[in-house]
Amino acid sequence: MNIKFTLISLMTTVGLSASAISVTSTSGNLSTVVGENIDATSLEISGEINAADLDFIAKKMTSLSTLDMSNAKIGAYSGAPILLGKTEYNANSLPAYSLAGTSIQSIILPKTLQIIEDGALSSTKITSISIPESVTSIGMGAFTNCDELATITIPSNVTSLGSYAFSGCDKLTSATLYVTYLGESTFEHCVALKSITAPSLLTIGDAAFNNCSALEEFNFANTLRAIGNNAFQNSGLKSIDFTNTSLLESIGAWAFAQCSNLTSAIMNDKITTIGEGAFFDNINLSTFNMPLACTVASEYVLKGNTSIDTTNMLNDNVSRIEKYALMGMNHLTTFTLPGALNYIGDNAFEGWTSLTKLNAENIVSEVPALGNTVWNGIDQSKVELVASQELLNQYPLYDQWCEFKISGVSSVEDIAIETSADVRAYFVGYDLVVEAGQEIAMVSIYDSSARQYGIETNGGNQVTINTSDWNCRLYIVKVILADGNATTIKIARNN
């Protein structure tokens, strides 16, 4: 066996103690060539080592701060249980958790290394690391909780990057990677991370950048197809622009929730799914457009966004607004419901305390079904619900809808003035009284611009309508009698 052994020694009062050593070893013999120099702070290895040698470094060379394996090769191991109790280890692979938790601050990996296994360098003190071009796979949690790691570049040959690979790296400020998939929590809790270069991503996994509070910008690759749950939750993103990501179809639940700096989120119209709470409690978000392909406003999706503009907030194709989806938007005074809407879930509009007008003119086929306490906190008696002519007489028949001040739009042609001696109308204070010589089937009330305010029927010969909540003074009253005859009366209120 040819063993090259060089010592750079440090004299102490106790005796000879090595601070830096350079050795050439054969597989499984590192402990022999290191000998009594286990207190060395720097180790350079040439030749071949295996999992047992790395186990020796981790357990015995606890003072080591610098490890250079650039000229070493990791061979296969088969023998007694080591590390995690395994008896077999592959060549050219840095074994799982082999150097985890050590005090090593600087490490140079073997030039022939192919795989960095799960947790291999987790919780070490490394400040930077160069990953060889030969590496194709980095395992789960490989560098997690490396508190001093500042920068990282992942070679283009790396096709697999495991979950939690860099999570909890508190000082990591930048990363460059060429993988197509980011696994779960890859950079979670990297609170100093400011710059990411990732031009080839197809998928951003769950919580990949969760709690990356310094991450203010992200260039979403035009290859991107999906964003996972919680992917950017609590991040520092200021704006999102998916204009050029025409392949993106899915945004996961809570993906951009609680991003307090986020002011703009521009969607592309190919996105079909925006998950539950995806933009939850983004208090400074003012610009948002629901993609045309997205037909459901998911639970909590825009809850608590007290700065958002209603323009394009929901497209006309949205058929369902799920529970709590729009809760807490207390700054909005008017809102237009989508034409395709057929369901609104529990508490969806809770807390819209400034609302004065709800426009439902585009809904013509059916009155949307409602969950529980949809309008909780809103004084509906002071909110005008503008209904389509097709459904105007339907809204008063349904719980929760009937509590609004219901009005509608009709054409002027429908209310041409016709009078009849059999019908008369007059005001008693704010009460409009309509009387007829026979049973009244329907009464419709319009202002002078042909806006319909309400329909009242009771099957008798007299109808009384309170107009105290209506601002106009000039009214047109259309009365349809039981025999089908109709008359229209113009009348002014004196107060």
User: Looking at residues 439-450, what average pLDDT do you find?
Assistant: 77
6-20, 181-195, 240-254, 386-400: the lowest-pLDDT one: 6-20
**pTM (2 d.p.):** 0.79
Give the pLDDT confidence score for residue 7 in this predicted structure.
35
Question: Which residue matches tokens 């920068």?
Answer: 151
Sign of CA dihedral 337, 261, 184, 324: negative
Distance (Å) of CA 455 to CA 140, 141, 321, 392:
66, 66, 28, 8
Mean pLDDT (the chain, rounded): 90
Span 363-375, mean pLDDT? 96
Place of tokens 């310094």: 214
pLDDT of 413:
45
Q: How far, in Å, CA of 390 to CA of 388, rounded?
A: 5
* In contact, 361 and 384? CB cutoff 8 Å: no
Q: Is the pLDDT of residue 377 over 70?
A: yes
> Residue 443 phi/psi, 5° resolution?
-125, 125
pLDDT of res. 342: 97
Integer-rounded Cα radius of gyration of the chain: 36
Asked if residues 188 and 165 have their Cβ atoms less than 8 Å apart, the reply is no
At 33-44, the pLDDT tens digits run 999 999 999 999
pLDDT above 80: residue 411: no
CA distance 347 to 314: 17
Q: Which amino acid is at 364?
A: V
Q: Give the whole-angstrom CA distance, residue 287 versus residue 237.
A: 14
pLDDT tens digit string along 45-74? 999 999 999 999 999 999 999 999 999 999
CB of 53 closer than 8 Å to CB of 76: no
Q: 């280890």: which residue's tokens?
A: 89
How far is 434 from 441, CA to CA, in rounded Å?
Answer: 12
Compute the distance between CA of residue 59 and CA of residue 56 in angstroms, rounded to an integer. Answer: 5
Burial group, residue 100, by CB count within 10 angstroms (0-12, 13-18, 19+): buried
pLDDT given at position 420: 66
Residue 261 has pLDDT above 70, yes or no: yes
- Least Cα distance to 183 among 237, 140, 142 occurs for 140
Position 17 pLDDT exceeds 70 = no
CA 217 to chain centre: 15
Residue written as token pair 């009062």: 13
Three-class SS string for the chain?
CCCCEEEEEEECCCCEEEEEEEEEECCCCHHHHHCCCCCCCEEEEEEEECHHHHHHHHHHCCCCCEEEEEEEEECCEEEEEECCCEEEECCCEECCCCCCCCCCCEEECCCCCCEECCCCCCCCCCCECCCCCCCCEECCCCCCCCCCCCEEECCCCCCEECCCCCCCCCCCCEEECCCCEECCCCCCCCCCCCEEECCCCCEECCCCCCCCCCCCCCCCCCCCCEECCCCCCCCCCCEEECCCCCCCCEECCCCCCCCCCCCEEECCCCCCEECCCCCCCCCCCCEECCCCCCCEECCCCCCCCCCCCCCCCCCCCCCEECCCCCCCCCCCCEEECCCCCCEECCCCCCCCCCCCEEEECCCCCCCCEECCCCCCCCCHHHCEEEECCCCCCCHHHCCCHHHCEEEEECCHHHHCCECCCCEEEEEECCEEEEEECCCEEEEEEEECCCEEEEEECCCCCEEEEECCCCCCCEEEEEEEECCCCEEEEEEECCC
Q: Give the whole-angstrom CA distance, residue 444 versus residue 393.
A: 10
Amino acid symbol at 106 = S
Question: 28 CB contacts (<8 Å, ≥6 apart)?
Answer: 49, 50, 52, 53, 77, 79
Residue 159 has pLDDT above 50, yes or no: yes
Beta bridge partners of 79: none
